[in-house]
Amino acid sequence: MSYSDKVIDHYNNPRNVGSMDKSSADVGTGLVGAPECGDVMKLQIKVNRETNVIEEAKFKTFGCGSAIASSSLATEWVKGKTVDEALAIKNMDIVKELSLPPVKIHCSVLAEDAIRAAIGDWKKKQEAAKPVASAVTQ
């Protein structure tokens, strides 16, 4: 199978490889896939809690070249977007950008899942941190 130049580029020069502190209140971590399937992606975002803008994103992937490229691209795309804007990213956008063949479309689906999982994790943290309104008798 021959890869598109963009996939090769992301494979040779992956963007935003790394890890963030997942216990941090501003970090959302998405871990999707399974080793038995040959695809596991970890995608993390650091969100500015005032603006909801994703300021930093990191990824690590166990998977084929297309999976690595899809997740690398995902971190590039979410940076600078608000959380809601990032939720609008669709796997077919990734397929188009990387010229993924049909047999590799599932890699882009997993990348989209990873974005959602990271955002979902961050949102859960924000919910949990909200002060509980209580009736306090003065």
Partner 1 sequence: MSTEVKVPQQLPVTHHAAPQGVKLPIYMDNHATTPMDPRVLEEMLPYFMEKFGNAASRNHSFGWAGEEGVETARERIAKLIGATTKEIIFTSGATESDNLAIKGVAEMYREKGNHIITAVTEHKAVLDTCKRLEKYGYRVTYMPVQKDGLVDLEDLKRAMDDKTILVTIMAANNEIGVLQPFAEIGKLCRERGIIFHTDATQAVGKIPIDVNKQNIDLMSISGHKMYGPKGVGALYVRRKNPRVQISAIIDGGGHERGMRSGTLNVPGIVGLGKACAIASEELSREAVQLASLRDRLRDRIMSRLDETYINGSMEHRLPGNLNISFAYVEGESLLMGINDIAVSSGSACTSATLEPSYVLKALGTGDDLAHSSIRFGIGRFNTAAEVDYVADRVIETVERLRELSPLYEMAKEGINLKDVKWAGEAH
Catalytic pick from 8, 25, 37, 88?
Answer: 37
Rounded to whole angstroms, what are the CA distances from 94 to 18, 21, 128?
21, 27, 32
Collapsing DSSP to helix, strand or coil, 25 comes out as coil
Residue 16 interacts with partner 1 (CB under 8 A)?
Answer: yes
Residue 56 interacts with partner 1 (CB under 8 A)?
Answer: yes
Catalytic site includes residue 37: yes
Restricting to residues 90-109, which ones interact with partner 1 according to CB under 8 A?
Answer: 103, 106, 109
Q: Which of 80, 45, 42 is nearest to 63 (CA)?
A: 42
Phi then psi for residue 120, to 5 deg, are -60, -45
Catalytic pick from 32, 69, 98, 107?
Answer: 107
Which spans of this chain sit near partner 1 (rule: CB under 8 A)?
3, 8, 11-21, 23-27, 31-42, 46, 56, 58, 60-65, 67-68, 103, 106, 109-110, 113, 117
